[in-house]
Structure 1
Amino acid sequence: MKIVLLAASGQAGRTVLSELISRGHDVTAVLRDIDKLPESIKRIQDDLSNIDKIAEIITGADAVVSAFGPAKDPRYFTDESYTDILEEVTKRIISAVQQSSVKRLIVVGGAGSLWFSPGITVLDSGYWPEEYKPIAKSHVKAFAALKESVINWTYFSPPMLIQPGVRTGVFRLADDNIIMDGNGRNWISFEDYAVALVNELESPKHEKARFTIGY
């Protein structure tokens, strides 16, 4: 498949990029600083600030994956008006996908809107760290923008904890409820998150829907 990966230099982006390449997909990586990736990778420099430019970049792709997230300067942990750039960029990407007639968009999402327990979201559970509330609220807004759109979207929420680890290929999926392991942890490695995302690209099961992952 021909895939355009937006914001390819972050932890999620790099891991998804590696998984896509390992499976033989034709990947174009879009990032603000192309020097963050080797020349052997097809790279395009862009900051996702212009709908027409995004549409030009993604035209002809089978699917787009967005791993965009605001840069983690001090405002990331305190200022929702700063993290709301996530919603703004997501809306631009939606418009670009519609303009370019790309058939699919998968978004690396957030965990805050997942159900922690019946009627209680992760964000409202009391277990979500205070410093990550701004970005969680911005993820909720970006998710809402996708649900209101007419494009073929998929929103892939990570668990409450996602960290570098091992690619096992063994995990569980759910729609809107967090998944606890045998020790009461809701977590996944970036590597297995990438496996599940590329699986979804290759064999769609959550079109115009959200899903999540856990061990």
Structure 2
Amino acid sequence: MQVAVLGASGKGGSEITKELAARGHTVVGISRHPDAIPDLPGVQRKAGDASKPDELARLIKGVDAVISAVHFDIPSATLLGAVKQAGVNRLLVMGGAASLKGADGVMLYDSPHFPEEIKPIVKPAITFLDELREEQEVDWTFFSPAMVIFEGERKGPGSFELGGDELVTDGDGNSKISYADYAIAMVDELEQHNHSRQRFTAAYP
């Protein structure tokens, strides 16, 4: 496929770009810092600002899918507007974990243990997901990572477990995944299309 990755120079976006290129997909990597996008065969590095829908629509026109790894200070309406303007039907979003539910069925954001100082940072991701769930035209997927996502080794396929709206944890109650393994699950979803208009998550069991 030809896939546009928004925020391709960031921690998540760069790993997703690497995984796509390794599997033979053509990548249009878009960032305000294009020189920081992985320089790999099959990767086109382009300067662009996802907060400007007309500009973004021009950059992504003709791709088969868009994967967004940008921060949630860009509203869903802006991103969806650009995708629709470009005529792209598939949107995958690198989401947040705060909207996942714990074992008690309570959203992590609403848990008494959730740090108050982080709430203003993660709330836009929750709003973004709520708005995606109202979207009827674009085929979207929202991929929440584990509670802790970190720069670390690529353990590879089979090292993580997928989930839906509930946090995936290991035997000690920890929830974590590396950006590299997160990228595997993201590209798996692109190729297998198992979560159309759904949210899913992944973590090491």
TM-score of the aligned structures, taking structure 2 as reference length = 0.91
Runs of 4+ with >6 A deviation:
none
Structure 2 equivalent of residue 58 of structure 1: 60
Task: Report percent identity of matched pairs.
Answer: 41
- For the 8 Å contact 2:96–2:145, the answer to whether it is kept is yes
- For the 8 Å contact 2:31–2:37, the answer to whether it is kept is no
Gaps of 5+ in 1: 71-84
- For the 8 Å contact 2:9–2:38, the answer to whether it is kept is no
Structure 1 equivalent of residue 154 of structure 2: 167
- For the 8 Å contact 2:48–2:59, the answer to whether it is kept is no
Give the counterpart letter for 1:196 in structure 2: A
CA distance 1:126–1:6, shift in 2 (3 Å): same
- For the 8 Å contact 2:49–2:56, the answer to whether it is kept is no
Structure 1 equivalent of residue 78 of structure 2: 92
Whole-angstrom distance in 2 between the partners of 1:186 and 1:49: 31
Which segment drifts farther, 181-190 or 41-50?
A: 41-50
Whole-angstrom distance in 1 between the partners of 2:9 and 2:195: 25
Structure 2 equivalent of residue 5 of structure 1: 5
CA distance 1:15–1:131, shift in 2 (3 Å): farther
Quote the offset at 1:39 in angstroms. Answer: 5.3
Structure 1 equivalent of residue 185 of structure 2: 196
- Secondary structure at the aligned position of 2:78 is classed as helix
Whole-angstrom distance in 2 between the partners of 1:129 and 1:8: 29
Structure 2 equivalent of residue 106 of structure 1: 92
Tell me the C-alpha RMSD between the 2 structures: 1.5
CA distance 1:180–1:95, shift in 2 (3 Å): same
- For the 8 Å contact 2:140–2:198, the answer to whether it is kept is yes
Gaps of 5+ in 2: none
- Secondary structure at the aligned position of 2:110 is classed as coil
Q: Which of 121, 128, 131 is the aligned partner of 1:145?
A: 131
Quote the offset at 1:49 in angstroms. Answer: 2.5
Quote the offset at 1:38 in angstroms. Answer: 5.4
Whole-angstrom distance in 1 between the partners of 2:49 and 2:172: 41
Whole-angstrom distance in 2 between the partners of 1:119 and 1:194: 27
Give the counterpart letter for 2:142 in structure 1: Y
